[in-house]
Amino acid sequence: MSDLSQFLDNEPVVATAGTDMLAVSIEQQGSTVSRADWRPPAAGTEDALNVLFSDDRMRDANEVAVGRMLAVRPHLADVKVARDVITGMTDRTFLHAGPPLEWDRASGPMKGAIIGAMLYEGLADDPDDAAARAARGEIELSPCHHHDAVGPMAGVTSPSMPVAVVEDAAGDGVSYSTLNEGLGKVLRYGAFAPEVIDRLRWMDAVLGPVLKAVLASTGPIDLQSLIAQALQMGDDGHNRNRAVTSLFLREIAGALIDGADASVENRRAVFDFINGNDHFMLNLVMAAGKLGSMAASGVPSSSLVTVMARNGTDFGVRLSGTGDRWFIAPAPPVDGLYLGSFTEEDASPDIGDSTITETVGLGGFAMGAAPAIVGFVGGTAAGAVRRTLAMYEITMTEHPMYQVPMLEFRGTPVGIDASRIVRTGVLPQINTGVAGKVPGTGMVGAGLVEAPMECFTQGITALAEVSR
């Protein structure tokens, strides 16, 4: 029986958008109706939307793109030195978070992190010397995202740093991230005091080699499985990584005891370092996310958001169907809670590649799974759940593995659709840390931020151009 004949066989089931009067008149007849709280799309996107909706290309492309994103099986395979594995990395290359950036336009924490990394690499005598050399162009700045890598906050990755190598067990993608230094005064928040540099040196001398040996013993560790479990233990994968870090320690504990060729002191130090840093796994969750993002990139006509990233100055977005183009708007301030006596006056604008977690159904999108951090969303667990629920409007599907217990184990909203963002005005909700704006300060708080609409209106306009 044809669809139309079937339609004529029953009382219709109606959904409405527009005048409420028409919905009311259906209810008057004793039937029910589902109403859309419709609003006009973002100004200037009407023509682009009309183009993108004129056939099935975008819809089909989105199905392909999000399918690829969800098909990856990220495994932590190895720890190597950045210059040895990251394509395009020279001895003068300093990767950074977010879209492309020049030294002159860099924010305080970004400059601080670059200074710290130059001191760590031995390319400068002191902070002033480092700043002067960077300003003269003696180093090359390049976004992590241009090198299959991601970095939290400033995201500065220099040639000597140990990086996690995350491989796709279901494909051939490989992504990279630095190892997490902990909270407080750390390079990624723009701190460059001697203790910061000393820690980085310890990480390349001890942490990296020990983890490498541990992984050689355990074999590749399934990150997605750990993240899925952690979501049922109160993590969001962005602002809370306590559970996944604990799970990771369990995974490696045996090999750390007897599988690594290292001194007892060093093995103990590695254990204490990871155990003492609830965010140790953030970087690995991010690298896992990057792998999905890479797989989903480059599907013509797809409006899937593959990258959201900030460098402290700009917020950048990439869409699957527009390839390597960045759509950029000023990085917004973070609505945050502050440590100690810090206030929003001390805060730098939004920074970091960690928004890769939101692009793969974690972070703000999994807020409903993380009641422990509801302080960021008005303090109620219900508020956190509502935050997750709001994101289903702008996503293509539900994550098959990442689930929210409070939503009866519904999959997290995943596959951000830029066309739905501009249509609805609903912006991606991001959980994030806040860096101090003065170089060298470090972390001052954590909170929430919304991706700027402008990035998505530009993206949708460009996508329509190439789809015409």
Partner 1 sequence: MISRVEVHRGRYHDSVRLMQASKALQEVPGVTDALVAMATELNLSLLADMEFDMDEVAGIGPNDLLLAIRAETEEAIEAAHRALDEALTPKVVPSGGLDGPDPKTIGTAARLNGANVALLSVPGEHAFVEAMEALQDGLHVMIFSDNVPIEQEITLKEYGVSRDLLVMGPDCGTTIVNGLGLGFANAVQPGPVSMVGASGTGIQEMCALLDDAGVGVKHALGTGSHDLSEDVGASSTLQALEALDADPETELIVVISKPPAAAVADKVRRVASECATPVVITFMGETTLEEGAGEVLDALGKPRPDYGSWEAPEREHRPGSVRGLFSGGTLRSEARHVAMPYLGPIGTREEDEGHTFIDYGDDEYTQGRAHPMIDQTVRVERLAATAHDETVGVVLMDVVLGYGSNANPAAELAPIVRRVVDSGVAVVVSLCGTRGDPQGRDAQATALNEAGASVYLSNAAAAREAVRLATTRSSS
Is 31 an interacting residue with respect to partner 1 (CB under 8 A)?
yes
Residues 97, 98, 104, 108, Cα dihedral to 10°:
-60
Least distance to partner 1, CB of residue 412, Å? 13
Is 37 an interacting residue with respect to partner 1 (CB under 8 A)?
yes
Judged by DSSP in three states, 80 sits in strand
Of residues 258, 340, 408, 468, which one binds partner 1 by CB under 8 A?
408
CB 304 within 8 A of CB 417: yes
CA 411, CA 399: separation in Å to the nearest integer? 5
Place of tokens 């974690």: 362
22 vs 132, beta carbon nearer partner 1: 22
CA 176, CA 107: separation in Å to the nearest integer? 24
Of residues 7, 44, 140, 257, which one binds partner 1 by CB under 8 A?
7
Residue 4: other Cβ atoms inside 10 A: 8
| Residue 72, φ and ψ in degrees, nearest 5 | -70, 150
For partner 1, the binding residues in 376-395 under the rule CB under 8 A are: 382, 385-386, 389-390, 392-393
**Span from 218-226, 235-243, 253-261, 342-350 in contact with partner 1 (CB under 8 A):** 218-226
CA 263, CA 268: separation in Å to the nearest integer? 8
Least distance to partner 1, CB of residue 295, Å? 16
Question: Which structure tokens are listed for 430?
Answer: 């991001």
Is 399 an interacting residue with respect to partner 1 (CB under 8 A)?
no
Of residues 29, 43, 258, 379, which one binds partner 1 by CB under 8 A?
29
**Span from 42-50, 118-126, 295-303, 327-335 in contact with partner 1 (CB under 8 A):** 42-50
CB 298 within 8 A of CB 345: no
CA 53, CA 419: separation in Å to the nearest integer? 10
Residue 226: other Cβ atoms inside 10 A: 24
CB 299 within 8 A of CB 321: yes
Of residues 57, 59, 80, 83, which one binds partner 1 by CB under 8 A?
59
Give 428's DSSP letter: P
Is 224 an interacting residue with respect to partner 1 (CB under 8 A)?
yes
**Span from 27-35, 89-97, 255-263, 446-454 in contact with partner 1 (CB under 8 A):** 27-35
| Residue 178, φ and ψ in degrees, nearest 5 | -70, 170
Least distance to partner 1, CB of residue 182, Å? 26
CB 431 within 8 A of CB 364: yes
CA 243, CA 459: separation in Å to the nearest integer? 36
Least distance to partner 1, CB of residue 212, Å? 21
Least distance to partner 1, CB of residue 37, Å? 4
97 vs 305, beta carbon nearer partner 1: 305
310 vs 420, beta carbon nearer partner 1: 420
Please report how many Cα atoms fall inside a 13 Å half-sphere around the Cα of residue 321, on the Cβ side.
31
**Span from 16-24, 88-96, 324-332, 355-363 in contact with partner 1 (CB under 8 A):** 16-24
**Span from 7-15, 80-88, 95-103, 115-123 in contact with partner 1 (CB under 8 A):** 7-15
Is 424 an interacting residue with respect to partner 1 (CB under 8 A)?
yes
Least distance to partner 1, CB of residue 391, Å? 9
CB burial readout 351-377, b (16+ within 10 A) else e:
bbbbbbbbbbbbbbbbbbbbbbbbebb
Which residues lie below 8 Å from residue 20, measured CB to CB, with a gap of 6+?
35
157 vs 224, beta carbon nearer partner 1: 224
Of residues 44, 56, 88, 257, which one binds partner 1 by CB under 8 A?
56
Is 65 an interacting residue with respect to partner 1 (CB under 8 A)?
no
For partner 1, the binding residues in 122-181 under the rule CB under 8 A are: 169
Is 80 an interacting residue with respect to partner 1 (CB under 8 A)?
no
Is 264 an interacting residue with respect to partner 1 (CB under 8 A)?
no
Least distance to partner 1, CB of residue 196, Å? 35
Is 57 an interacting residue with respect to partner 1 (CB under 8 A)?
no
Task: Give which of 344, 128, 366, 109 is closest to 237, Cα–Cα.
Answer: 366
251 vs 350, beta carbon nearer partner 1: 251
Is 40 an interacting residue with respect to partner 1 (CB under 8 A)?
yes
Is 253 an interacting residue with respect to partner 1 (CB under 8 A)?
no
Is 36 an interacting residue with respect to partner 1 (CB under 8 A)?
yes
CB burial readout 16-33, b (16+ within 10 A) else e:
beeeeeebeeeeeeeeeb
